[in-house]
Chains A and B, each alone.
Chain A
């Protein structure tokens, strides 16, 4: 997938430091924001004590939240927060696109790869912004789900969970691998985040829907169809799950477990997985038979919807899912690039919530049913809540400044916390949206690849060489313009064409300022250095129409002098190797002083790293123009 791979290690210290720094800065902003909200709320309450909510909080005087909904809301809230914290792992910024997204998508259909490539490219162009945004968005959604227990705010949190979950499921999990071979419930099909989406959708439903046992039956029926389908898929012949070995290779399940056991993790877990891999290889048929029967049985019981049977099935499902979570999915979040605990914990939550919805508590939830019924279906539980809490209802409506003050004063702590969580999401989403709209890559990639870039203030050594058209060009003749200068071998097969493209792109990024900047390359090859070669190189790289491009050459002694003055070591190598030289770029200001020197090694030369270098070069050129 072109564009996704920056060639940088996920542990690249520059990237990791930038990611940590971004998280720290944004964390400080989050704290400030939350403190401000709290202060605003406390102040409003002090000024308008009469408007403060009653002692009982949300549940005072009304029906309690249905247990199934509470479980989904808090359970998935905790999961989102946990996932957000996983996104803060140091390797995430540099590693998610190449180590997680790309490999998952690699076996999927072409159109999936194309779609995922877009998301992966956005991430790899802006790894720090995207990494930090994922942290705050997920922590924000989790906190919002936990804080907003009732009413529209709570349902909106469910909707947010659906929206972000779909983004993650499509772009991060390549549709959970459903368009790739090897799909299996055991390994997390159809993608753990799809369960977050389902849970979010259930939370977003009117609360009244949760107070009817029929809803529980529907939830369980859906899960039953899912389990039955997964049993069928697991039993499907020819997919390698029935065999312990196939063609001298490990069977599908034992191979997957063995692969998981290689993930960096505590030794006892690794040993446990290795042991299970051996067991699965030896008794593959029996293991798969157990899985198929268990899934089919769960599916049948959930579809039947008999509460007593469902209760046992849920307990069995919990144990079964936990066993798979540990023995096959390896907890899902280990290794430094784990993004979530995979599918089993979310599935357990859905099983349990379905059961709780099937057998509502008479004392609390059934009371809510009658209340909701009184309000009519149109109002549902929201109407009931509004009736109990007129201050909150007003808070939701736009009003005057005075009204707003009243609304703030009457808001409950949970509402304030929900607003804070929403602010956290916005804090994460805004830079991500800006990054997605920005088609150039962040200069951090170039800095990570090239290492130190030195700020200097030295007179640039003069030179007089010949450009590609045979005209003499000296540094003095370029006075009054900023000069981006590098050294290129015209018959180079690797870096030099990439560097030339970076210079060309930097010129384009400069826009109107390009007229004040010269893009200069000096030949770095002792043998292939005539203007025939500089012209051929220009044609190859599409530089013949770039007005401020100069490719300079000269006699070996002239070139040798320039190389020496600018610290460029050029040397022919034997046995068919390319001529060697160090990749250097210097930025000379209009007064003829070197302002910046950078290692111009372009790394892998992907579109992302090229763009990143171009941004950096154009920034340096602008600085040089300002410094003059």
Chain B
């Protein structure tokens, strides 16, 4: 190429430099994310908002503050068995933006804090005096994001389900010192005979069986069996729960009862309660529902489901109790809590409180003669902006 021609070409190249960019720009479009994989699996668990009943009274976990995640603070409320008044008993000293899981057993109430932001382990707090004083404890791992992630036995023995599906156990004393022993992992449980039979996908709850042995429950990929397992001296066995209607079964919750256990199950759009007396399961008739916003167990084999659109269903009593709809719950209801702590009359379901959260205000509604009545308001001193 002659120098003259080279100069000309350079000139054209220079002035056309932007054109090259233009050509590239013509084809520029916002990246579209496409997925050729299977549709995402439905969430394994419900909200951490729940309630539970111990001999001392009723406990409720609800999220308040907001609206951004950094200003969401989980709160623990307690209503003594002898009173109709709720009070705030959230343990202090640790940020609970990541979520709170509570479990009761005997005189113990154990609260686990899911880590958030730069924290990677889970502080615990244990109370034996209805939330007046708390003893710190430590789980040096991430607690699972499910309301059934902790179970406490009558002696204070505690089970914890970790985010990765590992189950660990500790005595009351060793939990305070952060000494936990691994019981099993999701992989090991899935590889066990009952795990393979159900095609175990994930663990959603831990509990203790009537014999005091650890139990685990999760969701199965294979239709029919429910993933409820008992630990018999290191060997995990199926608890033998299955749904006659078939379908893939997810266990929404698992709790201990006197002499047995109770589970809440989901299969397709049907929800079930199931009771175990240590030898056989009794399954309720189904209730049809879409998503379950929150769920919890009441005394004597009762349970509740908070569904979309202000719908709430309760089931009471063991051995085939039927689901019953409550009147539409008040707006903002985060959690339902049975009013009594004693066994409810089968079929009635007793009465319930609905705890509705709005920012830093908690309103307690009580079901009185078939209608919700506002009975209490609690101003929660939410520390907005304290977590970053």
Instruction: Tell me the A residues contacting B by CB distance below 8 Å.
Output: 107, 109, 175-181, 183, 189-191, 194-195, 197-198, 201-202, 205-206, 208-209, 212, 214-215, 218-223, 225-226, 229-230, 232-233, 236, 350, 354, 377-378, 491-494, 496-498, 525-528, 530, 532-533, 535-536, 539-540, 572-580, 605
Contacts and interface: CB of A to CB of B under 8 A. Distances in A.
Given A494-B95, A526-B93, 19 more contacts: A178-B25, A180-B28, A181-B30, A195-B18, A202-B15, A214-B8, A221-B15, A378-B3, A491-B119, A532-B178, A536-B138, A536-B140, A536-B178, A539-B140, A573-B92, A576-B74, A576-B383, A580-B386, A605-B118
Contact of B28 (A178, A202, A535): A178
A219 B11 contact: yes
Contacts of B92: 527, 572-574, 579
A532 B180 CA distance: 12
A527 B127 CA distance: 14
Contacts of B24: 178-179
B94 A219 contact: no
Contacts of B178: 532-533, 535-536
Rank and list the top 5 A-B pairs by shortest CB-CB distance, nearest first: A222-B15, A527-B93, A577-B383, A576-B73, A578-B95
Contacts of A605: 118
A218 B15 contact: yes
Interface in B347-388: 360, 380-383, 386-388
Q: Which of A189, A530, A576 has the most CB of B within 10 A?
A: A576
A222 B19 contact: yes
A575 B8 contact: no
Contacts of A109: 28, 31
A536 B95 contact: no
Given A189-B22, A575-B382, A577-B383, A494 B93 contact: no
A575 B383 contact: yes
B130 interface: no
A22 B8 CA distance: 44
Interface string B9-33: 0111111111101111110111100
B75 interface: yes
Interface in B82-121: 88, 90, 92-98, 100, 113, 115-121
Contact of A540 (B90, B96, B119): B119
Contacts of B19: 222, 225-226, 229
Contact of A218 (B11, B74, B383): B11
B8 A218 contact: yes
A575 B2 CA distance: 81
Nearest to A525: B93
Interface in B29-75: 29-31, 64, 73-75
Contact of B136 (A206, A378, A530, A578): A530
Nearest to A580: B386
A236 B22 CA distance: 13
Q: Which of B2, B93, B116, B136 has the most CB of A within 10 A?
A: B93
B67 to A, nearest CB: 16
Nearest to B30: A181
A405 B93 CA distance: 77
A385 B97 CA distance: 75
Contacts of B15: 198, 202, 218-223, 226, 350, 354
A371 B85 CA distance: 104
Contacts of A526: 93
Contacts of B23: 229
Contacts of B360: 575
Given A198-B14, A205-B7, A493 B118 contact: yes
B115 A577 contact: no
B18 A226 contact: yes
B93 to A, nearest CB: 3
Contacts of B7: 205-206, 208-209, 215
A160 to B, nearest CB: 15
A575 B21 contact: no
A474 B198 CA distance: 58
Given A178-B25, A573-B383, A497 B11 contact: no
24 contacts: A109-B31, A177-B25, A189-B25, A190-B21, A190-B22, A190-B25, A201-B13, A202-B11, A222-B15, A354-B15, A492-B95, A492-B119, A494-B118, A494-B388, A496-B118, A528-B94, A532-B176, A532-B177, A533-B178, A539-B140, A540-B120, A577-B383, A577-B387, A579-B94
B132 interface: no
A230 B18 CA distance: 10
B123 interface: yes
A545 to B, nearest CB: 17
A177 B18 CA distance: 12
A181 B28 contact: yes
A212 B113 CA distance: 78
A176 B21 contact: yes
Contacts of B383: 573-577
Given A209-B11, A528-B136, A575-B383, A179 B75 contact: no
A168 to B, nearest CB: 14
B90 A493 contact: no
Q: Which of A206, A232, A378, A573 has the most CB of B within 10 A?
A: A573
A179 B95 contact: no
Contacts of B95: 491-494, 576-578
Contacts of B28: 109, 178-181, 183
Contact of B138 (A350, A525, A533): A533
Contacts of A179: 24-25, 28
Contact of B8 (A215, A236, A496): A215
A525 B8 CA distance: 74
A176 to B, nearest CB: 6
Contacts of B96: 576
A573 B382 CA distance: 9
Nearest to B14: A201
Given A539-B140, A575-B382, A498 B118 contact: yes
Given A573-B92, A577-B73, A178 B97 contact: no
A183 B136 CA distance: 58
B12 A218 contact: yes
Contact of A527 (B22, B75, B136, B380): B136
Contacts of B177: 530, 532
B93 A491 contact: yes
B21 A175 contact: yes
